Chains A and B, each alone.
Chain A
Amino acid sequence: DGGITQSPKYLFRKEGQNVTLSCEQNLNHDAMYWYRQDPGQGLRLIYYSQIVNDFQKGDIAEGYSVSREKKESFPLTVTSAQKNPTAFYLCASSITGWAGDTDTQYFGPGTRLTVL
């Protein structure tokens, strides 16, 4: 059945390590997004991609990197340059990223990252 999957559900990282969060969708959506959620807060945009091989920085891209080599996959790497990476990370996708009937974003179940 169609949807968005994220793995792992929980991830622990030692300081100084890079880690990669997986996001896969089989909805045939062009646009994909990464958001970060901190306790008691709404979501903030990290990166987004409108199409394969193209991506743009969001509001809080520093210390993160992404790739979009395949339409269905949009992995997020949290680098050691991210000073406070402990948070809940949500991936989303939409048919397109342009406002209109195709802009509704659907979310994956999220990954909880904890830095030890």
Chain B
Amino acid sequence: AQTVTQSQPEMSVQEAETVTLSCTYDTSESDYYLFWYKQPPSRQMILVIRQEAYKQQNATENRFSVNFQKAAKSFSLKISDSQLGDAAMYFCAPYSGGGADGLTFGKGTHLIIQP
């Protein structure tokens, strides 16, 4: 079984600034994948970024990037040039595949963007 800890229930950042959301996880699997999803007020879950655990290179998607530290089981999300539309709940979710566990979600971090 996997566990996920998002230690920051809420974060606030000024528009155009950079913010980092933290995530640590525990898994006994050697091969797995990691996801960040955002959930805006509409409550639709939207994929932000994906990281393969076997890759050393950190994933990036435009203004979003991750800092993946496999030995430390840490998977933080950095949002650069924060925009008002980034305001949402952000969830970290590891996945080992096979469907047996589905995605394991943390409790989320509520990101507030200050104009």
Contact = CB atoms under 8 A, between A and B. Distances in A.
Interface of A: 31, 33, 35, 40-45, 48, 50, 56, 58-59, 88, 90, 92, 97-100, 103-110
13 contacts: A33-B103, A41-B107, A42-B105, A43-B91, A44-B105, A58-B102, A59-B102, A97-B99, A99-B97, A100-B97, A106-B47, A107-B46, A109-B43
Please classify the interface of chain B as helix (H, G, I), strand (E, B), loop, or mixed, using the class held by over half of its residues: loop
Contacts of A105: 35, 47, 95, 103
Contact of A45 (B33, B103, B108): B103
Interface of B: 4, 31-33, 35, 37, 42-47, 50, 91, 93, 95-103, 105-108
Nearest to B108: A42
Contacts, number: 73
Contacts of A33: 99, 102-103
Given A41-B107, A106-B47, A109-B44, A56 B100 contact: yes
A43 B105 contact: yes
B107 A97 contact: no
